[in-house]
Structure 1
Amino acid sequence: MNNLPLNEFVKAKRKSLGLSREEFAQKAGVGIRFLRELEQGKETLKMDKVNQVLKLMGMQLGPVPMDRQKLLESK
């Protein structure tokens, strides 16, 4: 599960905990709209709010290696 994009990771983890978006958002202290946008892969989100969600799972944002070849191919 650790190699998933952030949006897929959050959604999979929430579902594995058996929580609805509403329940998860409430526990994380964020709005349902924010969680929905996060799970749908919105590219511009506030990092502090993303960290609020990840904190609930014992995680935090951080740099990860990128596949530079994929980046070049996608342009």
Structure 2
Amino acid sequence: MSSLSQLIKAKRKQRGLTQHDLALKSGLGLRLIREIEQGKTSMRMDKVNQLLALFGMELIPGTKIYDNE
């Protein structure tokens, strides 16, 4: 599972939302919410940012940090 999927799932649970609630609040489909939380690796950045906006966050380019450095 990717760190993005873990983050979104954790934020959703912190707010006491179901996946269905999150889909309704974000305006995204329930299927996409499920796919993101399951670690889907390819998705549109605008959709991810639409979801992250609910948590006051956004996806931005940055330097990759490697675990073994």
Fold match (TM-score > 0.5)? yes
Alignment gaps of 5+ in structure 2: none
Residues 14, 69 of structure 1: CA spacing in aligned structure 2 closer, same or farther, 3 A cutoff?
A: closer
CA RMSD, Structure 1 to Structure 2 (Å): 1.7
Larger gyration radius, structure 1 or structure 2 = 1
Identity %: 46
Identify the structure with bigger relative contact order (alpha carbons < 8 Å, sequence gap 6+).
2
Does 2:29 match 1:31? Answer: yes
1:24–1:64 Cα change, 3 Å: same
Q: Which amino acid aligns with 1:10?
A: I
Tell me how far 1:57 sits from its aligned partner: 0.5
TM-score by length of 2: 0.87
For 2:62 and 2:23, how far apart are their aligned partners in 1? 25
Change (3 A) 1:31 1:69: closer
- Structure-1-length-normalised TM-score: 0.80
Q: How many residues align?
A: 67
